[in-house]
Structure 1
Amino acid sequence: MGVDRKWLFTLFSAALLSLMVLLMSSFSAFSSPKAFPSLVQHGSRYPPAFAYFISGGHQDKDRILRLLLAVYHPRNRYLLHLGRDARDEERQALVAATRGVPAIRAFGNVDVVGKADYVTYLGSSNVAITLRAAAIMLKLDSGWNWFITLSALDYPLITQDDLSHVFSSVRRDLNFIDHTGDLGWKETDRFQPIVVDPGLYLARKSQIFHATEKRATPNAFKLFTGSPWVILSRPFLEFCIFGWDNLPRTLLMYFTNVKLSQEGYFHSVICNAPEFKNTTVNGDLRYIVWDNPPKMEPLFLNASLYDQMVESGAAFARQFHLNNPVLDMIDEKILHRGSHRATPGMWCTGRRSWWVDPCSQWGDVNIVKPGPQAKKLEGSVANLLDGWNSQTNQCQ
């Protein structure tokens, strides 16, 4: 009997020890990232990389963090901007939250703007923060190919592996920018009125105000308008920032006093620059639903539009209410992303389970594996490129 008890005690001890080792191993996999990050390679032989500028305001910290994790990939660069209407505590909390993600901590490819700016939606301060973001991105990282603007109200409809795969076959000097030279009612409503954006010079948030006089439509250059949401190439942004031609600065001076200048500045610069006007692909790859007749802002999206979003072939959609259930549907069915985790891709090598983040460990970050949504995005991009090749809707 004593021998049996001794044998049972030994067996129980061995089982308990094995369980403890297993739990410690799982905890280690969850909490400890790979000691050295995989080397990120750039160049024509590797998938393209993207510079994301994600902006928001007061109480948008959680939205921005969720969006960041949804579009995160170690090859990309990210700049997050919480406007000056957000409290410093929000900004610090956002920094702390990003540093809590193992991959972000290891690759160091996410930055938060510390000295934020006021942003007046109808004014030119929006263009100012975008140009500032582009300048920061150009200084911080020499490897990215395209600059993508997102707001806290946006969300992706594809994984970053999908996006990199599709854009691998796109010329890297092309710019995806929805535009038209047919100003219509905007000529008298947007371009001829003179507005002033106090966000550029006041230390408090304020609304734009109108001058009593109007001005004539310019004839030294042609005006263009379109979607404010753009995917711009690195060469074009270098032209805008470094400005070896005076055109970007001249137009910046003009658009300082234009209402909703983010809907015309880049469009007018690129279409008036001979070296870039033939690089415009007329589309923004966004899924947006407008009221009829259209109002200032698009409709908020919900689960009833999920199937249309999925089939749209768009890369991003907007706009969404905070934590709308349709975002959970996108996470689960398209991104396969767990709560508070980055969207997994080919780079993630950790075991997938409810307690282990597969992206807490990684392998070669220069390999991508597209999913089902890539085919839909590929179709949209192909259609846009057909239009670009025909040159029927470029800067017209």
Structure 2
Amino acid sequence: YQRANPIVVDPGLYLLRKPPIFYASQKRPKPNAFKFFTGEINLVIIVVFYSCYVGDMLSSCSLFLSLSLSLFLSGSPWIVLSRSFLEFCVLGWDNLPRILLLYFTNVVISQEGYFHSVICNSPEFQNTTVNNDLRYLVWDTPPNPEPRVLNATDYEGMVESGAAFARRFLEDDSLLKVVDDRILKRRPHGVVPGGWCLGKPNGWLDPCSKWGNINVLKPGPQAKRLGNLISQLTTSGDWQSSQC
């Protein structure tokens, strides 16, 4: 709770330029009207350990270098949210999302705890989580604070993982062009074509220059890999072991 106790103000909320946040002189006590999300991690010496929480589909995952300690840490800012959960956050029929939003406005790195705390305090969504954040990462040995930059040699592993996201990439790296060409089928300076594109592709005509129903989905090979990954995660015996 060390990150939640200090009261911070983000001037970027009301100023055009984004100056650094500043701290109030007072601190507030630990909340008892709701459960503040923390990731409780049991760490073992010289082991890299993941603690991930995914809500239906909210996901968060954090990586730590172990030192035989039990720590209370925040979740990941990389999250995947379901439509039903987002509707709950927007409509807030029990006012919980709004209360937590007001609280987290003055929390450092609030994106690592807001959605996580909403889901853990909502009976409707609590424990609807899957222990993965759907990201493809490659770490150095021993691990650095950030995953290593992906390159062309990581392409096959990235594709076969079925993950929906990957990082880190260098700007304008050739690997990004490979992803555009082979997976997304995106033309230079164009949009990613989908089932809503009705035009026929040829050498110069953009198939998305003519479009129809935007709700039409035509899953490709990578979407099927993602579906297989989610099925594996939700059918494994320990997927409920790291929930709220």
Give the whole-Å Cα distance in 2 for the aligned partners of 1:286 and 1:365.
26
Task: Determine if contact 1:345/1:369 at 8 Å carries over to the other structure.
Answer: yes
Unmatched 5+ stretches in structure 1: 1-186
Give the whole-Å Cα distance in 1 for the aligned partners of 2:136 and 2:226.
12
Residue 196 of structure 1 is matched in structure 2 by: 9
Counterpart amino acid of 1:336? K
Counting only pairs closer than 5 Å after superposition, residues 236-255 of structure 1 correspond to structure 2 as 236-255=85-104
TM-score, with length taken from structure 1: 0.46
Residue 235 of structure 2 is matched in structure 1 by: 386
Residue 360 of structure 1 is matched in structure 2 by: 209
Give the whole-Å Cα distance in 1 for the aligned partners of 2:80 and 2:5.
27
Alpha-carbon distance, 1:387 to partner: 5.3
Q: Deviations over 1:24-65 (max 9, x none)?
A: xxxxxxxxxxxxxxxxxxxxxxxxxxxxxxxxxxxxxxxxxx
Residue 171 of structure 2 is matched in structure 1 by: 322
Q: Deviations over 1:137-170 (max 9, x none)?
A: xxxxxxxxxxxxxxxxxxxxxxxxxxxxxxxxxx
Q: 1:219 to 1:344 in 2, by over 3 A?
A: same
Task: Determine if contact 1:251/1:269 at 8 Å carries over to the other structure.
Answer: yes
Give the whole-Å Cα distance in 2 for the aligned partners of 1:196 and 1:363.
46
Alpha-carbon distance, 1:255 to partner: 1.2
Counting only pairs closer than 5 Å after superposition, residues 153-232 of structure 1 correspond to structure 2 as 187-188=1-2, 190-224=3-37, 225-232=74-81
Greater helix proportion: 1
Alpha-carbon distance, 1:325 to partner: 0.9
Alpha-carbon distance, 1:275 to partner: 1.5
SS at match of 1:374: helix
SS at match of 2:99: helix
Alpha-carbon distance, 1:323 to partner: 1.5
Query: Rg: which structure is higher?
Result: 1
Task: Determine if contact 1:335/1:344 at 8 Å carries over to the other structure.
Answer: yes
Q: 1:191 to 1:298 in 2, by over 3 A?
A: farther
Is the deviation greater in 216-225 or in 323-332? 216-225
Alpha-carbon distance, 1:364 to partner: 5.9
Q: Does 2:165 correspond to 1:332?
A: no
Unmatched 5+ stretches in structure 2: 38-73
Residue 132 of structure 2 is matched in structure 1 by: 283
Alpha-carbon distance, 1:201 to partner: 2.9
SS at match of 1:191: coil
Give the whole-Å Cα distance in 2 for the aligned partners of 1:350 and 1:357.
7
Give the whole-Å Cα distance in 2 for the aligned partners of 1:333 and 1:243.
41
Residue 345 of structure 1 is matched in structure 2 by: 194
Residue 257 of structure 1 is matched in structure 2 by: 106
SS at match of 1:195: strand
Task: Determine if contact 1:313/1:373 at 8 Å carries over to the other structure.
Answer: yes
Task: Determine if contact 1:282/1:388 at 8 Å carries over to the other structure.
Answer: no
Alpha-carbon distance, 1:385 to partner: 1.9
Q: 1:343 to 1:253 in 2, by over 3 A?
A: closer
SS at match of 1:210: strand
Task: Determine if contact 1:251/1:265 at 8 Å carries over to the other structure.
Answer: yes
SS at match of 2:81: strand
Residue 59 of structure 2 is matched in structure 1 by: none
Q: What is the alpha-carbon root mean square deviation over aligned residues? A: 2.8
Q: 1:370 to 1:194 in 2, by over 3 A?
A: same
Counterpart amino acid of 2:23? H
Counterpart amino acid of 1:259? V
Q: Does 2:222 correspond to 1:373?
A: yes
Counterpart amino acid of 2:35? K
Alpha-carbon distance, 1:350 to partner: 2.9
Task: Determine if contact 1:388/1:394 at 8 Å carries over to the other structure.
Answer: no
Give the whole-Å Cα distance in 2 for the aligned partners of 1:253 and 1:364.
38
Give the whole-Å Cα distance in 1 for the aligned partners of 2:107 and 2:215.
42
TM-score, with length taken from structure 2: 0.71
Residue 118 of structure 2 is matched in structure 1 by: 269
Residue 66 of structure 2 is matched in structure 1 by: none
SS at match of 2:123: coil
Q: Deviations over 1:328-382 (max 9, x none)?
A: 1111121222212222334434332221222223466555433222332122111
Give the whole-Å Cα distance in 1 for the aligned partners of 2:134 and 2:199.
32
Task: Determine if contact 2:196/2:217 at 8 Å carries over to the other structure.
Answer: yes
Alignment partner for residue 311 of structure 1, among 156, 160, 169?
160
Alpha-carbon distance, 1:264 to partner: 0.4
Give the whole-Å Cα distance in 2 for the aligned partners of 1:245 and 1:351.
48
Q: Deviations over 1:212-233 (max 9, x none)?
A: 4544433332222322222222
Residue 302 of structure 1 is matched in structure 2 by: 151
Q: 1:262 to 1:388 in 2, by over 3 A?
A: farther
Counterpart amino acid of 2:189? H
